[in-house]
Amino acid sequence: LTFQALKPIIEEFGPDTVVYPHLRGQPFFEREILEENPKGLEIANIPNKALAIAGC
């Protein structure tokens, strides 16, 4: 759920705008954005909090 909230921000402003959680190694990020097929998608590994800094 948290990744789905971050996805539009990542797509518009880039992954560097996400301060927390760290996206490197996150299976959902690797699958959706980097288009890789990571292992671990069945594990809930993204916290229910997020922080992004984006300018308009």
What is the DSSP code string of 24-37?
TT-HHHHHHTS---
Three-class DSSP category at 48 = coil
Q: Quote the pLDDT of residue 26.
A: 81
Q: Quote the pLDDT of residue 38.
A: 60
Q: Compute the distance between CA of residue 1 and CA of residue 3 in angstroms, rounded to an integer.
A: 5
Task: Please tell me what DSSP assigns to residue 53.
Answer: -
Give the domain extent around 12: 2-52
> 52: which strand partners?
18
Task: Write down the pTM of the prediction.
Answer: 0.65
- H or E stretch including 50? none
pLDDT tens by residue, 13-47: 988 888 888 787 788 877 777 776 766 566 667 77
Q: Quote the pLDDT of residue 16.
A: 87
Select the more confidently predicted residue: 41 or 5.
Answer: 5
Number of domains in the chain: 1
